[in-house]
Amino acid sequence: MDPEHLPDSILIVDFGSQVTQLIARRVREAGVYSEIAPFSAAEAAFERMRPKGIIFSGSPASVPDDDSPRAPQCLFDSGLPILGICYGQQVMTHQLGGEVRPGHETGEGGEFGRAFLTVSKSCALFDGLWEEGERHQVWMSHGDKVTRFADGFEIVATSDGAPFAVIADEERKYYGTQFHPEVVHTPDGAKLIANFARHVCGLEGDWTMAEFRATKIAEIREQVGDGKVICGLSGGVDSAVAAVLIHEAIGEQLTCVFVDHGLLRQGEAEQVVSLFKGHYNIPLVHVDVEEQFLGGLAGETDPERKRKFIGKTFIDVFEEEARKIGGADFLAQGTLYPDVIESVSFTGGPSVTIKSHHNVGGLPERMNMKLVEPLRELFKDEVRELGRELGLPDAFVGRHPFPGPGLAIRIPGEVTKERCDILRMADAIYLEEIRRAGLYDAIWQAFAVLLPVKTVGVMGDGRTYDSVCGLRAVTSTDGMTADVYPFDASFLSAVATRIVNEVKGINRVVYDYTSKPPGTIEWE
Ligand code: XMP
């Protein structure tokens, strides 16, 4: 965020916990803006954000290890309230002069999972929520524990495995919880975090999407000046929201390019064109390059080569169109917060490429363009909220994520126009039934897959020999992990019947019961 438009905020220092993002979510749900910075970059983030409160996350590391991470001293010197969660509590204790010992030394082991604590004293964190003597469920996940707290602290709640379940120094406004308030298994956790943000840090909780929109518009105007911006629309929610926001900021200085590669879902291209040209009157270059994409994909069956071809061709087409309109100074992208957060690794080493995801990466340098990424601070559901705030229709904003390479990665084996058409029909029936059953919003992503396998069937009195269609539906919060959506068998058989009856070329339907991991969400 630009310093002139800084909202009141809380800085979350990430020590590498799996659930740090949830802390940011909970703070924002309390109406307070928050950002995550890895511990190694926390000092710079502190100076840039000028926050009103600080939260230390958990960590897989162990405070007694000499090389485990520490919080920058400037955070303690700032005089701001601090909430330390799990490792955060321990590192705060250690840095302020208390003692933390590894679980194996205390001989008591750790506490993992559901636990109960007893409130021994009131404190600002518990305001209006927990009273002395009450017992409450929390979620623990720790091996090490605080064995002596730092000067100024007192115990305000205890659990069987953690005598220092919650400690507080009300004078300095320092709080430490051994449990994780950010996870849903601590039922009052969100309220505890809201108490920290509002009662302890004294923040109003008035951070809204309307405010974000106004702030961002000012920021985009400042960044872009009278430059030209180009934005690639994918048909998805993120690029659409980014484009509408940027258009509101700079009007006709923005040109949108919609590369229609023929691998979109039923009716999708028409929707994008009518939304942008008709509804918003945003200049839109609609390039129909189906033949170029399908021609290049002919005969190709390798998933990675398919992805690479699509990614490269997308960039070539986009670049060509950008040249035609006389180039641009900026490239707008719908990058989201989860893609931006620098992950903190304690194990080191590069991560394995499971799939090469395609975006317009590489273009900005090649064309000497700077990036405009107005959604970099937002989570997916916040982008949806911003989209609604900008007047995008609910049905568009609430759409399931759709991958850049489109249907090509939902047609294992060779992609042809005929197979794309078959898949589009099956997919549309599946989604129509999901919507009709009122399940669409409960599912992260649902789609059909067309398999390169033919099986024998019987319809009427005749033999059929046609393709198999796979159905996938998962729940997820960020696409990194996913659970299978548990449809009723009667729902699935109704969908299967409709698909086999209505889509020529499919005579068998199967449901994918694989979670992620070990499966991925898409089939290629
Ligand atoms: P996987 O299949 O890796 O997918 O479990 C995780 C999420 O990412 C989406 N996905 C993509 N999105 N370009 C995108 O923009 C891609 O190349 C791509 N591949 C997968 C997928 O739909 C799911 O939401």
Tell me the whole-structure pTM to 2 decimals.
0.81
- As given in the structure block, the two tokens for residue 371 are 């990036």
For residue 196, the 8-state DSSP code is I
Reading phi first (left if > 0) and then psi (alpha if -120 to 50, else beta), residue 258 is in: beta
Q: Is 238 annotated as a binding residue?
A: yes
134-151: per-residue pLDDT in tens? Answer: 999 999 887 888 899 999
How far, in Å, is the centroid of ligand 1 from the Cα of 403? 5
In CATH, the architecture of 417-511 is 2-Layer Sandwich (3.30)
Q: Is 61 annotated as a binding residue?
A: no
pLDDT band (50, 70, 90) for residue 262: very high
- As given in the structure block, the two tokens for residue 473 are 């539906």
Decide: 12 and 36 in contact? Cβ < 8 Å: yes
Q: Is 234 annotated as a binding residue?
A: yes
What pLDDT is attached to residue 358? 52
Q: Is 239 annotated as a binding residue?
A: yes
- As given in the structure block, the two tokens for residue 164 are 């220092």
Residue tagged active-site, from 35, 111, 182, 377: 182
What pLDDT is attached to residue 249? 98
What pLDDT is attached to residue 348? 40
pLDDT band (50, 70, 90) for residue 420: very high
pLDDT band (50, 70, 90) for residue 379: confident
191-247: per-residue pLDDT in tens? Answer: 999 999 999 999 999 889 998 999 899 999 999 999 999 999 988 899 999 999 999
Percent of the chain whose pLDDT exceeds 70: 94
- Res 33 pLDDT > 80: yes
What pLDDT is attached to residue 235? 85
180 is catalytic: yes
Identify the helix (H) or strand (E) that includes residue 167: strand 166-169
What pLDDT is attached to residue 388? 96
What pLDDT is attached to residue 284? 94
Residue ranges covered by each domain of the chain: 9-199, 218-398, 417-511
231 is catalytic: no
Given the structure tokens 């051994």, which residue do they identify? 178
How far, in Å, is the centroid of ligand 1 from the Cα of 378? 18
Question: What would the mean pLDDT of 504-520 be, rounded to a whole number?
Answer: 96
Instruction: Report the topology of domain 9-199.
Output: Rossmann fold (3.40.50)
The per-residue pLDDT of the chain, averaged, comes to 92
pLDDT band (50, 70, 90) for residue 337: confident
Decide: 38 and 79 in contact? Cβ < 8 Å: no
How far, in Å, is the centroid of ligand 1 from the Cα of 401? 8
**Are domains 9-199 and 417-511 of this chain identical in fold?**
no
Q: Is the CB of 338 under 6 A from ligand 1?
A: no
59-113: per-residue pLDDT in tens? Answer: 989 999 999 999 999 999 999 999 999 999 999 999 999 999 987 666 566 777 8
- As given in the structure block, the two tokens for residue 120 are 């021994």
- Res 394 pLDDT > 80: yes
Burial of 438 (0-12, 13-18, 19+ CB in 10 A): exposed
CA-proximal residue: ligand 1, atom 18 (nearest): 403
Residue tagged active-site, from 94, 136, 142, 180: 180
pLDDT band (50, 70, 90) for residue 4: low
CA-proximal residue: ligand 1, atom 3 (nearest): 520
How far apart are alpha carbons 187 and 135 in whole angstroms? 12
Number of residues in the chain: 524
pLDDT band (50, 70, 90) for residue 350: very low
In CATH, the architecture of 218-398 is 3-Layer(aba) Sandwich (3.40)
How far apart are alpha carbons 152 and 158 in whole angstroms? 18
469 is catalytic: no
